[in-house]
Structure 1
Amino acid sequence: MWLLFRTLRIRLIVQSPGISPYDPGASERYIYSVWHDSMVLPVFSGKHCCTTALTSHHKDGSFVAGVLRWRDIPVVRGSTSRIRTGALRELIDTVASRHLVITPDGPRGPNRVMSSGIPYLASRTGRAVVPSGFACSSCWRWKGSWSDLIIPKPFAKVILIAGAPIYVPRDLHTKELPQYVEQIQTAMDELDHLAQAELHGQRKSPRGSKDSTGEAFLPIPPGLPNNEGESSRVA
């Protein structure tokens, strides 16, 4: 799979400074929200720095956990639906100095529907949530029990977007979680639409141009993280 990803044309877009999961100099730690079916794309698109992932005990989660460990990304087994029980304490202890990646629609769906686990964890840890969006020009779909994993075909073009951080108030009451569930869901949906627009050239942004937040669009060679503020040519 690593050889496959070396053939891809990968472009990373970050909407705020310092939020790239591939940036070793990031001063803040985030919770990255990635849909289950897109999980493979960011895992192989660069070298992750100080990142731990939450994966379920379900069969699909076991496959993803194996891929993550192969890429030297530590894994905590659990699910967003049970994040308020056993997995929460382990997560807090394990990721004190690390980013955390969560699939908010796991472990059994519905596909691409946000659960309350991520805003709950953000509220209890004080970390901002970074929503994400992805698009791929050509892919296979590995059949899962409830969600098909997207596997890009050789030489495909891949767009990855890290959205502006969403801050959830500390120690939020559970009755207030739904508004942040909706906010993160909306951000994820919008970023997926934006990634599709970038993929098909519907959003006119010259290479190296800046978006409304002032962060440069960063094309990155497969497997090689860029420093933010730089751009490099992708063959």
Structure 2
Amino acid sequence: MTGRTPAPSDRTSRRRRAGVVVPHQPTRLQRLLARLVFLLIRAVALTLRRSLVDRTGCHDPLPPRAIYAVWHNRLALCLEAYRTYARPRSAARGLAALVSASRDGGFLAAVLECYGVRPVRGSSSRRGPQALLELTTWAERGYDLAITPDGPRGPRYVVQDGVISLAQVTGLPIVPASYRLSRFLRLRSWDGFIVPLPFARWEVILGKPLHVPRQVSETEREEFRRELQRRLLEITQD
């Protein structure tokens, strides 16, 4: 025995060998860049001509608490949409959002923290069960939840199973959410990420909530997955 305290890399590798995936925490540089991105998004959002298309059928208020599902390429303005249209009509104490456990996810987690959102680290391929448990805990504490059902790797506009499992466990309805912009840039990424441009028309669209019972067969789970995908595509216009 050397008595040496294991370095962070040593501890991480041991925990990985033990079957535990440790999320990458935001670096100082990522936190600085996240703050700059946050301020930039806020500045652009102030110039947008905004409107809401509410297809939830819930009128006012929205469901007391919900899981908001938004495509990965709409991340840029999704938190602005939540704070503008969903949060004032919700009884939730706040918002917890699923973010990848990768290094890139560390940057996004830092952006979420600027908005006062609780990041939960995980995905379908890394730390999925732990993330599901953490999201369920935040739901029990009275929080809304947010998830990108086609993230973090795609395919684009294909809903993965995780959001259906989350709805089963928490009992919360899934509210499809999207938006349209009259002016934007599209990045050459797997999701065709949309970057809003100043002074654009910004139309936020909320779809009809999807309720998933706790007890469903595998066939029924697939039907709910396909239905959520259909509802999201219905309110998405590229």
Provide TM-score, normalisation by structure 2.
Answer: 0.71
State the Cα distance separating 1:16 from its structure 2 match: 3.0
The residue aligned with 2:115 is 71
Amino acid of the structure 2 residue aligned with 1:35: W
1:31 alignment partner, one of 38, 55, 67: 67
**2:140 counterpart of 1:140:** no
Where in structure 1 are there 5+ consecutive unaligned residues? 197-235
Inter-CA distance 148–57: structure 2 relative to 1 (3 Å threshold): farther
Amino acid of the structure 2 residue aligned with 1:8: L
Tell whether the 8 Å contact from 1:81 to 1:115 is kept in structure 2 after alignment.
no
- What CA distance in whole angstroms lies between the structure 1 residues aligned with 2:148 and 2:170? 17
Tell whether the 8 Å contact from 2:99 to 2:109 is kept in structure 1 after alignment.
yes
Amino acid of the structure 2 residue aligned with 1:69: E
The residue aligned with 1:4 is 44
Aligned residues: 189
State the Cα distance separating 1:108 from its structure 2 match: 0.9
The residue aligned with 1:56 is 100
Moved more, 171-180 or 124-133: 171-180
The residue aligned with 2:154 is 109
Q: Name the SS of the counterpart of 1:44 in structure 2.
A: helix
Tell whether the 8 Å contact from 1:58 to 1:107 is kept in structure 2 after alignment.
no
Tell whether the 8 Å contact from 1:33 to 1:132 is kept in structure 2 after alignment.
yes
State the Cα distance separating 1:86 from its structure 2 match: 1.5
Structure having the higher helix fraction is 2
State the Cα distance separating 1:92 from its structure 2 match: 0.9
State the Cα distance separating 1:79 from its structure 2 match: 1.4
Amino acid of the structure 2 residue aligned with 1:138: R
The within-5 A match list for 1:86-235 is 86-96=130-140, 97-142=142-187, 144=189, 146-193=190-237
- What CA distance in whole angstroms lies between the structure 1 residues aligned with 2:235 and 2:167? 20
- What CA distance in whole angstroms lies between the structure 2 residues aligned with 1:140 and 1:174? 39
Inter-CA distance 132–102: structure 2 relative to 1 (3 Å threshold): same
Q: Percent identity?
A: 34
Moved more, 2-11 or 169-178: 169-178
**2:53 counterpart of 1:13:** yes
Amino acid of the structure 1 residue aligned with 2:52: L
Question: Can you list the C-alpha shifts for 1:202-221, whole angstroms capped at 9, x where unaligned?
Answer: xxxxxxxxxxxxxxxxxxxx
Structure number, greater radius of gyration: 2
Inter-CA distance 128–45: structure 2 relative to 1 (3 Å threshold): closer
Inter-CA distance 28–38: structure 2 relative to 1 (3 Å threshold): same
Provide TM-score, normalisation by structure 1.
Answer: 0.72
Amino acid of the structure 2 residue aligned with 1:34: V
- What CA distance in whole angstroms lies between the structure 1 residues aligned with 2:63 and 2:210? 17
- What CA distance in whole angstroms lies between the structure 2 residues aligned with 1:163 and 1:88? 24
Inter-CA distance 45–121: structure 2 relative to 1 (3 Å threshold): closer
Inter-CA distance 28–136: structure 2 relative to 1 (3 Å threshold): same
Which fold has the larger relative contact order, with Cα–Cα distance below 8 Å and residues 6 or more apart in sequence?
1
